[in-house]
Amino acid sequence: MTITLTTTRCLIRPFERQDIESFMTYRNDLDWMKHQSFKGLSYVEYENALLGEQSLLQGAQLAIIDQVTGELIGDVYTQQEGTTYWIGYTISPTHARKGYAFEVMSELIRHLADRGAEAFKAGVLEENMASIALLRKLNFTYLTTEMDEQIYQLGVSDV
């Protein structure tokens, strides 16, 4: 299933070749990405990961595009496990703290819930206070800690 969604300000779609350079700019900013995985790779490694065939069962990385400028401003990740979907998100530092992640994640959750999702989970490092605040704003609640990640969950009834 290919996901393409629009929000008030954004287009969420599969990655395209012209997105790779912008993706590399923030993904390879190791200070900005200190709380994230999938970073520090080469152009070819990102290209192979992002432009290849993706599925929700294997995990899909989607581009977040500013509808006005056409610029890549971040990405979302989702992976299906039965009726539960793991989600993750990254906004580039030049677009951070402007409400994009909340806008995009709200729409993605709504979209997946409309298609049968019953629950959502997200893993976050305990020092990533901005991400934890976003999850709480989206009505996620703390579930457990696995390895070094706090796991938050959201039931569809909480959407």
Kindly report the number of other CB atoms within 10 A of residue 35's CB atom. 15
Q: What is the pLDDT of residue 142?
A: 95
Which residue, chain included where needed, has tokens 């900005």? 32
Q: What is the CATH number of the domain that holds 87?
A: 3.40.630.30
Backbone angles phi, psi at 49, to 5 degrees: -75, -40
First to last CA, the chain: 22
Which residue, chain included where needed, has tokens 């976050």? 124
Backbone angles phi, psi at 39, to 5 degrees: -150, 165
| pLDDT range class, residue 64, cuts 50, 70, 90 | very high
> How many domains are contained in the chain?
1
CA dihedral of 62, 110, 95, 135, whole degrees rounded to 10: -110
Q: Is 148 left (phi over 0), alpha (psi -120 to 50) or beta?
A: alpha
- Determine the average pLDDT of the residues in 37-51: 78
Least confident of 25-34, 42-51, 127-136, 139-148: 25-34
Report the predicted TM-score, pTM, of the whole model to 2 decimal places: 0.89
- Give the CA distances from residue 135 to residues 48, 57, 101, 129, 159, in Å, rounded to whole numbers and listed in that order: 30, 23, 10, 10, 12
- Determine the average pLDDT of the residues in 3-10: 92
Domain span including residue 121: 5-158
Burial track 44-55 (b if 16+ CB lie within 10 A, e otherwise): eebbebbeeebe
